[in-house]
Amino acid sequence: MASLKSFQNVLLIMMMTGEILFGIHSTSKIDGNITRNSNNKKYTIKMDLEIDEGTEEDPSSPPKWIQEYCKSKVGISRVAFPCQLPLERKNKDLPRDCKEVQSRGYNTSGVYEIQPNKKRPSFMVLCDMEIKGGGWTHIHKRFDGSVDFYLRWREYKFGFGDLNGEFWIGLENMHVLTALDLDKTELLVEIVTRENEYGYAHYKDFKVGSEPDGYPLERLSVYSGDAGDSLDWHRGMKFTTQDVDQDKSDENCAVFAKGAYWYNNCFASNLNGELINHEVPGRVREGMSWDSWKNYEGRSKVLAKARMLIRSSVEQHQAANQPNEPAMLTLG
């Protein structure tokens, strides 16, 4: 795989010249110049790029080092070069979700390609194969504030971020993952305070509706956990962003809360709110929150980390394989 420096050189060349370099294979070495004309001015970019040896299985696909870089990019983060092209050959028998990945014998947590609906494109997801029996698909992950979550409808529809860091998998992907009524989809919410206190909320049934319906939190039922149920008040609510207001408040809750969510009037939880992992008087309600999780003073705890995971067919998982308390295995 190419070095990071080599990869940065290729990106620089593509941005400055518009050259499409997907013809470079992993055995290639480029040592020369590219000359372009721009605004009647001639300029030359020197290039010395050597890519580690390897063999491309499919000449129509990008080189392996581009595939490795791009496979963790989510939604709109895949729009820019060099991540528009398919990462792999099509017509593969891909698993539907992380549970099916696990059923095929893959028991290591990491990034996998899935295709929940064979009529729709595949996409990459982060799977957790250890917590509560494994087979969980991440749909949301936050732990260091490196990604801005105060974004617009388009970003929340398609998703954003990096599966190796913070991300939102996208409302459309959530809908596709939970749309099939053959199985129920369970939801696990894990939250962590600045003091590294862990809490969780588990729901046996979770479903996100379609975009024409406003991507509502269509189904949510049977809570268990130790963090309290701060999501039920949002059940049935449509999704609201700063530019698409579908909540029940006279004001836009996304603007007030500096996030995006299934706001009611306004929220009992706000996992996409601003990540404020230090004391800021008067701003806790604007931050990432789960209101039913209280401290000894009866105040909601300030969250530093959170993740949301889903899994189909909870009935097929044996209770014996599920520990009493989940652990934040990959929150950074």
DSSP assignment letter at 244: B
Same domain (yes/no): 126, 65 = no
Q: Kindly report which listed range (53-67, 174-188, 189-203) carries the lowest average pLDDT score.
A: 53-67
Domain-ending residue, one of 70, 85, 120:
70
Q: Is residue 187 part of a domain?
A: yes
Asked whether the predicted pLDDT for residue 146 surpasses 90, the reply is yes
Structural tokens at position 95? 């698993």
Give the per-residue pLDDT at 276: 78
Same domain (yes/no): 35, 106 = no
Asked whether the predicted pLDDT for residue 176 surpasses 90, the reply is yes
Compute the average pLDDT of residues 322-329: 38
Same domain (yes/no): 24, 132 = no
Q: Is residue 18 part of a domain?
A: yes
- Residue-wise pLDDT tens digits, 75-115: 877 665 556 544 444 557 999 999 999 999 999 999 999 99
Residues contacting 165, CB < 8 A, separation 6+: 141, 144, 146, 147, 332
Asked whether the predicted pLDDT for residue 252 surpasses 50, the reply is yes
Q: Is residue 76 part of a domain?
A: no
Compute the average pLDDT of residues 50-72: 57
Residue 266 binned pLDDT confidence (cut-offs 50, 70, 90):
very high
Same domain (yes/no): 119, 178 = yes
Compute the average pLDDT of residues 63-79: 73
- Mean pLDDT rounded to a whole number for the chain: 77
Give the per-residue pLDDT at 323: 35
Give the per-residue pLDDT at 172: 97
Q: Kindly report which listed range (155-159, 267-271, 274-278) carries the lowest average pLDDT score.
A: 274-278
The residue that leads in pLDDT, 332 or 303, is: 303
Q: Is residue 326 part of a domain?
A: no
Compute the average pLDDT of residues 272-297: 74
Same domain (yes/no): 184, 254 = yes
Strand, helix or coil for residue 51: coil
Distance CA 287, CA 191 (A): 13
The residue that leads in pLDDT, 295 or 255, is: 255
* Structural domain count, the chain: 2
Give the per-residue pLDDT at 42: 42
- Residue-wise pLDDT tens digits, 9-46: 444 333 333 333 333 333 333 344 434 343 444 433 33
Q: What percent of the chain has pLDDT over 70?
A: 65
Residues contacting 212, CB < 8 A, separation 6+: none
Same domain (yes/no): 50, 198 = no
Asked whether the predicted pLDDT for residue 326 surpasses 80, the reply is no
Same domain (yes/no): 30, 115 = no
Q: Is residue 79 part of a domain?
A: no
Give the per-residue pLDDT at 11: 42
Same domain (yes/no): 168, 119 = yes
Domain-ending residue, one of 21, 54, 70:
70
Give the per-residue pLDDT at 240: 98
Compute the average pLDDT of residues 217-235: 96
Give the per-residue pLDDT at 30: 34
Q: Is residue 110 part of a domain?
A: yes
Q: Please list, residue by residue across 164-176, b when 16 or more beta carbons sit within 10 angstroms of its beta carbon and e when fewer do.
A: eebbbbbbbbbbb
Strand, helix or coil for residue 30: strand
Q: Is residue 87 part of a domain?
A: no
Give the per-residue pLDDT at 92: 75
> Percent helix, strand, coil in the chain (nearest 5)?
20, 30, 50
Range of the domain at 109: 98-321
Give the per-residue pLDDT at 38: 39
Same domain (yes/no): 31, 111 = no
Same domain (yes/no): 298, 153 = yes
Are 256 and 266 a contacting pair, CB within 8 Å? yes
Q: Is residue 19 part of a domain?
A: yes
Compute the average pLDDT of residues 49-57: 42
Please report, for the domain that includes residue 203, its CATH number.
3.90.215.10
Give the per-residue pLDDT at 301: 82
Give the per-residue pLDDT at 65: 60
Give the per-residue pLDDT at 292: 92
Q: Kindly report which listed range (64-68, 119-123, 188-192) carries the lowest average pLDDT score.
A: 64-68
Domain-ending residue, one of 52, 70, 88:
70
Same domain (yes/no): 66, 199 = no
Same domain (yes/no): 64, 107 = no
Query: 128: alpha, beta or left, given left = phi > 0 and alpha = psi -120 to 50?
Result: beta
Give the per-residue pLDDT at 277: 60
